[in-house]
Amino acid sequence: MHLFWADPERNFVGIIMSQNNEVRAPRYELNDKFRSAVYRQIWAQENKLN
C-alpha cells in the first residue's frame, strides 16, 4: 500500500509505503494515525518557533 499527500503551505510531501494491507473497515486507519502523528510534531515545532 502506498499513500502520499502534499502540503504546499509547508513545502512538505509525506509518503507512506507499507506492506500492511488493511482489508477490513476502517481501511486506512493506520495511515491516518501516522499522518496525524506527523502533523502533531510539525505543529509542535511551528508553535515553538512562533
Which pLDDT score, from 0 to 100, does residue 8 have? Answer: 93
pLDDT at res. 49: 83
| Residues 1/27, Cβ–Cβ less than 8 Å | no
Q: Tell me the pLDDT of the chain averaged across its residues.
A: 81
Of 43, 40, 34, 37, the closest CA to residue 3 belongs to 34
